[in-house]
A and B are shown apart, each in its own frame.
Chain A
Amino acid sequence: MKEKPVSAGDDALPSSFIPHPSSLLFDGWRLAAVAIALLIVVPLTVVLSSLLSPEREEWGHLLEYVLPGLLANTFRLALGVGLGVTLLGVSLAWLTAACDFPGRRFFSWALLLPLAVPAYVTAFVYVALLDFTGPVQTWLREVAGGPVAVPPIRSAGGVIGVMSLALYPYVYLLARNAFLTQGCRALEAAQSLGYGRVAGFFKVALPMARPWIMGGLMLALMETLADFGTVAVFNYDTFTTAIYKTWFGLFSLQGASQLASVLILLVFALIAAEQLSRRRLRYTQAGRHSRADRIVLSGTAGWLSAAYAALVLAVGFVLPVWQLGVWTAQVAAQDFDARYLDFLWHSLLLGGLAAAITAAAALVLAYARRQRRDAFTQIATRVATLGYAVPGPVLAVGIVIPLAWFDRQLAFLAKDWLGMETGLLLQGTLLAMLPAYLTRFLAVGYNPVDSAMQRITRSVDEAARTFGVSGLAMLRRVHLPMLRGGLLSAAALVFVDVMKEMPITLMTRPFGWDTLAVRIFEMTSEGEWERAALPAVALVLAGLLPIALLVRQSERA
């Protein structure tokens, strides 16, 4: 019997075959998906168009004086962080997934904790501690009785170190997953074929996990390219800070847009690389998760492993959080006032609004993709979730430029027709911020909703239909209750991400709308580290929420 891959009814239904009663909605779902995709297409087009119609003078200046330095800085940073997160992430993943040593159970989840601390918070803590005027160097000078040659913390090495500590969990998480799935079987197979443990690791275990490691590395690198707060603390100029300075220092939105266009090209190159590495994900899965067979590291090896994991955890999480606590205790009495409650309120409000909007958009998108399997809708969905790769400053520029243009047109019209001065109507309002957040974090919200959606099999829909339940009634009675978990975690993840978000908030916020992140930026740019601690503590506490979700999820698996 020839086993043709007959799609057992689910896919590839010629929807145009019969005029279905729901054909009116057909275009509705499609339109919704396209509209959401446009939210990302428009700013990207605006930014990229500045590549095509450059103002000669500014380009000349940029090419000659600005770009070489920025590119060199960016490459050095990407290379260093890439190397750092890979070394830290892979080694820790291997130790906790394939080996056994004292404290392994604790470390396997605790090593995710650095993800809860925004990189810019870790950054300012270490700059404060290790700078020339900081307690460490002061103490060293006292001990030595004179000047001491210490490598400066505000350097490429400093940024790379801090960012590697903050971002290695991405690689750790994915590589650990890969090592857990492949288990020790592959390594045992290699050993039975005459390879030693070390050779087997490099010949078999590592290559098998490579697609996952690459996936984690790409996430970390995208965060690196998009980072604003950390490099700002270090005064290490990259594209994001240059965009900010060009816009708010030189008041050249056009120049900012040109810088943004170069940054987005770098990101596209990275996405292309990521897609290439992802293609391999599907055929590397071998073996099933097995807990029993671990390489037991006893004696010195075991304690050394534990010490290494403890060191990373201490430097990446415990020490910064401890220091924040100390500073908070010093300044809380003076800083915990009505203004602080304002920052908190603004952060919560923005996070809440963005979370609600994003979860709703994710639901619409996931639903559209389920209902309409045509290529057009699929592509629209893909495009709509690309925003996670677009750095915040690029989005900010790309959204503010068209809004500013719109404001000017409105102002002209109002003046000509009504003789009124309108000022800025859209720019500097939530109407600029929320779409930017939505675009940036839609992928974060979409993934949990979509995977919940995919758990609802098609026969569930069909069962409901045989009972006469369809359309909105089906959404209400069947789908929404089943999607509740996915929607909640989407909202939680977006909420926390928006609270921690710095560049979009900084560049598009309504006048006087300072948030916790903005407060941190202002305090750190004045070197008042202690006073940045109080808002940072709130962000770390919020950041623990998604980690808890993640840990619970991985324990269930």
Chain B
Amino acid sequence: MTDPIQCPVLIPGTPLLEVKAIRQGYAGQEVVKGLSFNLAQGSIGCLLGPSGCGKTTVLRGIAGFEPVAGGEIVLNGQPVSRPGFMAPPERRRVGMVFQDYALFPHLSVGDNVAFGLQGWGRAERKLRVAELLEVVGLPDSGKRYPHELSGGQQQRVALARALAPCPMLLLLDEPFSSLDVELRERLGLEVRDILKQQNTTALLVTHDQHEAFAIADEIGVMDQGVLQQWDSAYNLYHRPANRFVADFIGDGVLVPGTVREDGRVETELGVLSGEIPVECKAGCPVDVLLRPDDVVHDDASPMQAEIAHKAFRGADILYTLRLPSGRRILSLVPSHHNHAYGELIGIRLAVDHVVAFRRDKARE
């Protein structure tokens, strides 16, 4: 292969995309309510949230398909969307991979990839198409047509097509949702490698946290048009900012407790120490987040719980345990500890870091 075509490299680390307090909506209904985040050059971001949370609207706002009613979107230092102003998509140098891929069925794979290369010389165009098909692992498919490819292959072509004109920012709208689970995970990792290799800044939208974890450097959890937390996957899981994030990311239960004088939290499972909400003083009612891996199986432990439910997961079993109080908690146990329904097993808490939320009066 000849030398690959170099896309202009922007300075890594500088903010490429700045979303500043944007508001968006349809027909009087606000779908996005003052959302802000930055994405640095070369990093991969993700908006994660349940369907209807407004994440796709944000993505389409950044692409230039939908206007903003408030706030501002800045791309590489240039404002591109403001109330009353919207730079058209074709002026933004933003690539997009659509949920349904939106490949052009009348064009061959090669022509699809070349579609955005208007104004390139014939030789350059040919080179770029070959290069990208190589990158996505379909070097010999240029002459085939989209309908002759499998779903995963179509996905790769869509990616190659979007990357071909060297976009500053690549947007991916639920890119793996039409693939089966196994392929989804594998392709996710592969796409991450490709994006990193091409030094592409990308923003992904998905409702699937595993997909987000596999691809993104930074993840924003959205609910009802509001960004709940923008953080790394590790922090979203271990230091969720609020109840919604705690509930949406990973498994776990909230167990009620009370803050003691010494700043530790007393629960029915024992006394725990960790971060307490700042506004909480002694006697303050809180909910403590217990992840399944915080509850450890220990035959020697005096604390006993009854097995209410079990889900075999291969390497381990996820038990739902009923405490004497009737409350249910989750516990992840290596799968050779195979117990029957109704059996009592010993458990112990192994919490490095307590996450507690103040309990509202209304919730009691």
Chain A interfacial positions (CB closer than 8 Å to B):
1-4, 6-9, 12-14, 17-18, 20-21, 457, 459-460, 462-470, 477-478, 481-482, 484
Contacts and interface: CB of A to CB of B under 8 A. Distances in A.
B105 A3 contact: no
Contacts of A481: 106-107
B112 to A, nearest CB: 9
B302 interface: no
Contact of B89 (A4, A13, A460, A465): A465
Given A3-B51, A6-B31, A478-B104, A463 B96 contact: yes
Contacts of A457: 100, 102
B50 interface: yes
B137 to A, nearest CB: 21
Contact of B98 (A1, A7, A462): A462
Interface string B13-37: 0000000000000110001000000
B312 interface: no
Nearest to A481: B106
A26 to B, nearest CB: 15
Given A1-B52, A9-B60, A459-B100, A469 B26 contact: no
**Chain B CB within 10 Å, residue with most, of A3, A6, A457, A470:** A6
B152 interface: no
Interface stretch (B4-12, B61-69, B228-236, B335-343): B61-69
Contacts of A13: 26, 66
Contacts of A8: 56
Interface string B46-90: 000011101011001001011101000000000000001110111
Contact of A465 (B85, B88, B161): B88
A257 to B, nearest CB: 45
The B contact surface, by secondary structure, is: loop
B115 A469 contact: yes
A466 B86 contact: no
Given A462-B65, A467-B115, A482-B106, A14 B27 contact: yes
Q: Which interface class (under 10, 10 to 19, 20 to 34, 35 or more) fits B?
A: 35 or more
A482 B66 CA distance: 25
Interface in B101-118: 102, 104-107, 115-116, 118
B57 A9 contact: yes
A464 B66 CA distance: 16
A3 B51 CA distance: 7
10 contacts: A6-B26, A8-B56, A9-B66, A462-B65, A466-B96, A467-B116, A468-B116, A478-B104, A481-B107, A482-B104
5 closest A-B pairs by CB: A467-B116, A468-B90, A459-B102, A481-B106, A459-B98
B129 interface: no
Contact of B26 (A2, A12, A467): A12
B26 A463 contact: no
Nearest to A21: B88
Find the residue from B51, B56, B89, B165 having the highest chain A CB count within 10 A: B89
Contacts of A464: 104, 115
Among B84, B92, B94, B96, which residue has the most Cβ atoms of chain A within 10 A? B96
Contacts of B54: 6
B104 A466 contact: no
A21 B88 CA distance: 8
Contacts of B84: 18
A462 B27 contact: no
B52 A7 contact: no
Contact of A462 (B92, B96, B161): B96
B99 A466 contact: no
Interface of B: 26-27, 31, 50-52, 54, 56-57, 60, 63, 65-67, 69, 84-86, 88-92, 94-96, 98-100, 102, 104-107, 115-116, 118, 161-162, 165, 167
B241 to A, nearest CB: 18
B94 A466 contact: yes
Contacts of A2: 52
Contacts of B96: 462-463, 466
Given A465-B90, A467-B118, A1 B63 contact: no
A466 B98 CA distance: 11
Contacts of B118: 467-469
A477 B111 CA distance: 11
Given A12-B26, A12-B27, A18-B85, A462 B90 contact: no
Contact of A469 (B50, B90, B99, B102): B90
B52 A6 contact: yes
Given A12-B27, A481-B106, 16 more contacts: A2-B52, A8-B56, A9-B56, A9-B57, A12-B26, A18-B84, A465-B88, A466-B92, A466-B94, A466-B96, A467-B115, A467-B116, A468-B116, A469-B118, A477-B115, A482-B105
A18 B67 contact: yes
Most buried by B among A7, A8, A12, A467: A467
A469 B90 CA distance: 7
B50 to A, nearest CB: 5
A463 B98 contact: yes
A6 B53 CA distance: 9
Contacts of A4: 52
Which among B54, B106, B167 has the highest number of chain A CB atoms within 10 Å? Answer: B106
A340 B26 CA distance: 63
Nearest to B117: A467
B154 to A, nearest CB: 13
Contacts of B116: 466-468
A363 B50 CA distance: 39
B242 to A, nearest CB: 15
Contacts of B57: 6, 9
Nearest to B173: A459
Contact of B90 (A9, A12, A467): A467
Contacts of B52: 1-4, 6
Contacts of A17: 67, 69
Nearest to A3: B52
A9 B107 CA distance: 26
Nearest to A19: B84
A1 B26 contact: no
Contacts of B31: 6
Given A2-B52, A459-B98, A466 B89 contact: yes
A17 B25 CA distance: 11
B56 A460 contact: no
A4 B224 CA distance: 10
A425 B115 CA distance: 50
Q: Among the interface residues A3, A13, A484, which one has the most CB atoms of the partner chain B within 10 A?
A: A13
A404 to B, nearest CB: 47
A487 to B, nearest CB: 13
A462 B63 CA distance: 9
Contacts of A6: 26, 31, 52, 54, 57
B60 A460 contact: no
A468 B66 CA distance: 16
Contacts of B98: 459, 462-463
